[in-house]
Amino acid sequence: MINTIWLMLIVIGTLTGIATGTSADVTKAAIESANQAVNICLGFIGIMAMWNGLMKIADSAGLTKRLARIFAPVARLLFPSLPKDHPALAAITMSIAANLLGMGNAATPLGLKAMEELASLNEAQDMPSDAMCTFVAISTAGITLVPTTIIAIRAQYHSNNPAEVVMPIIIMNIIATFVAILADIFFRPISRGN
């Protein structure tokens, strides 16, 4: 579906450029945007390598597992249908911990592992379980204490203070996570037809 949308956007943009006589501008903008995307990605490499390295050191030192244990009671509260020591809880808490540290790249494989574990508990294979929906809602809102990607983008564009947006981002992430949990609780009975 998303490929169809992107194809339609490209075709419409190209046809509009031809119809308005600005196809040269469309081509120039496409090339400049591609160059800019590469420059942004290269700018991310340093900061992402640093945070991935710190995350690996924290993982080796057992910090991420301790952080996961701290969030385990909250995870059990949010996912009451999961057995107490199920591997899904560990994967969920590790994914949340990675998101808290601003490591979206590290959180993604942990989130996929959590969904895999949650799927193993799901009896209705054609419909996501309540725990799966809750995890997607929380992951999408994702509280981040260290928004490394935003800091990296701001540093890439020579911001005077790349980290000045940290507190507003934390506040908005808390609000978004709270709203996601409330929406999950509110819409769950409606989606089940109760």
Q: Per the domain annotation, does 88 fall within a domain?
A: yes
126 within domain boundaries: yes
Residue 83 located in a structural domain = yes
Task: Provide the domain count of the chain.
Answer: 1
Residue 13: inside a domain, yes or no?
A: no
| pLDDT digits 0-9 by tens, 147-193 | 777 787 788 788 899 888 888 888 888 898 889 888 888 887 776 66
Is position 106 within any domain?
yes
Residue 22 in any domain: the answer is no
Which residue segment(s) compose the domain that 70 sits in? 43-191
The tens place of each residue's pLDDT in the chain, 194 residues long, gives 788 998 898 888 888 888 888 878 878 888 888 888 888 777 667 766 776 676 678 768 877 667 667 777 887 788 888 877 777 777 788 788 777 777 666 677 778 888 888 888 877 777 888 888 888 888 888 777 777 777 877 887 888 998 888 888 888 888 988 898 888 888 877 766 65
pLDDT at 191: 65
Question: Is residue 99 a contact partner of residue 139, using CB atoms and an 8 Å limit?
Answer: yes
Q: Do the domain assignments include residue 173?
A: yes
- What burial letters (b/e) apply to 134-153, b meaning 16+ CB within 10 Å? bbbbbbebbbbebbbbbbbb
* CA–CA gap between residue 42 and residue 62 (Å, rounded): 30
Is the overall model pTM greater than 0.75, yes or no? Answer: no
In a domain, 8, yes or no: no
